[in-house]
């Protein structure tokens, strides 16, 4: 008979589980769940073999603490033979006391002096593109001290992984990374290597097997699907197995498991709210379509077809 693998939650004492229940109860939308439902929510996060690298906390934990993995990731994404020298503080000193705080996920310095900011963004927010440009500019202007020459300034790259599709004037098939630099408008001549903004749009990867992917695409597949991987996923490239080892949930100390769980529950809540708002928005749109067609005295069958509402819903308007 096959022996059941004991999960992390199976190994927890009642007192340890109470800490997780307390975190769940901090969120109003989960307080009404039954105790078994809350336990299942805890299990859905903690009992997965690997961290969800789409979560800010997990991404920072893995790539902020393992510069060799960060270097491998950046080499493949930027397609550059770069050498990561050190991680840098992820919060920038203010010019003035009332300046806006700038806190990034991961930032590192290359051996040649260039800086790279790496961000993970789950949801699309208003002002997102402006914020990313601001991060790059702030890291660029904060390099020099008094009396230092402008020629000593180094380029700043922002690599932002986003779990949504951004709007573009042109989306060639298979294009998954969009890069923006300072260039002459007509000739495309590069002004200089100063600030480079790189958006890695994870949903644009349509393939879902490591066997058919190039190195850049392999990272997309890994980041998108890490949380769903079995303990020893088949087909994963040998070089990426170190990412799995660094991402094991069972390797987290108890305090960090709580931090990860809190971050994940917060992300799940945001996702639930975003989904609910999207559905509500769709329903409002359908109702408005039906009302306009009713005012134009369109046939009921036509209104049902275009508004996606039922006959009963339309008659109730």
**For 225-240, what is each residue's pLDDT tens digit?**
998 888 778 889 999 9
- The residues, ordered by sequence, that sit 6+ positions from 218 with a Cβ below 8 Å of its Cβ are 76, 210, 237, 240
pTM: 0.80
**pLDDT tens, residue by residue, 259-303:** 999 999 987 755 544 444 444 445 556 677 777 778 777 788 778
**pLDDT tens, residue by residue, 42-86:** 999 999 999 999 999 999 999 999 999 999 999 999 999 999 999
- Taking phi over 0 as left and psi of -120 to 50 as alpha, with beta for the rest, 297 belongs to left
Distance (Å, whole) CA 43 – CA 2: 21
Q: What does DSSP assign to residue 91?
A: B
CA-nearest of 93, 97, 178 to 138 is 93
Q: Which helix (H) or strand (E) holds 200?
A: strand 195-201
| 87: β partners | 108
């Amino acid at each position: 008979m096959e022996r059941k693998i004991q999960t992390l939650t199976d190994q927890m004492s009642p007192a340890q589980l109470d800490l997780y229940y307390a975190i769940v109860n901090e969120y109003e939308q989960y307080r009404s769940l039954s105790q078994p439902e809350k336990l299942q929510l805890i299990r859905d996060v903690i009992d997965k073999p690997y961290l969800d690298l789409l979560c800010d906390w997990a991404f920072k934990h893995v790539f902020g603490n393992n510069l060799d993995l960060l270097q491998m990731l950046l080499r493949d994404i930027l397609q550059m033979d770069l050498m990561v020298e050190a991680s840098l503080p992820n919060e920038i000193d203010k010019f003035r006391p009332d300046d806006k705080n700038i806190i990034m996920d991961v930032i590192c310095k290359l051996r040649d002096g260039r800086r790279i900011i790496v961000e993970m963004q789950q949801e699309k927010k208003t002002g997102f593109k402006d914020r990313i440009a601001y991060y790059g500019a702030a890291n660029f202007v904060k390099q020099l001290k008094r009396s230092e020459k402008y020629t000593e300034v180094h380029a700043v790259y922002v690599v932002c992984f986003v779990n949504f599709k951004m709007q573009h004037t042109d989306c060639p098939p298979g294009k998954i990374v969009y890069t923006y630099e300072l260039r002459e408008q007509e000739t495309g001549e590069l002004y200089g290597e100063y600030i480079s903004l790189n958006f890695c749009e994870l949903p644009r990867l349509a393939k879902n097997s490591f066997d058919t992917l190039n190195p850049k695409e392999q990272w997309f597949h890994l980041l998108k699907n890490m949380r769903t991987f079995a303990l020893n996923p088949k087909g994963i490239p040998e070089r990426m197995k170190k990412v799995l080892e660094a991402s094991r949930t069972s390797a987290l100390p108890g305090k960090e498991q709580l931090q990860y769980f809190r971050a994940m529950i917060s992300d799940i809540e945001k996702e639930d709210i975003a989904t609910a708002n999207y559905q509500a928005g769709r329903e409002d749109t359908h109702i408005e379509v039906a009302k306009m067609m009713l005012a134009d005295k369109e046939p009921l069958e036509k209104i049902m077809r275009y508004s996606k509402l039922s006959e009963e819903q339309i008659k109730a308007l």
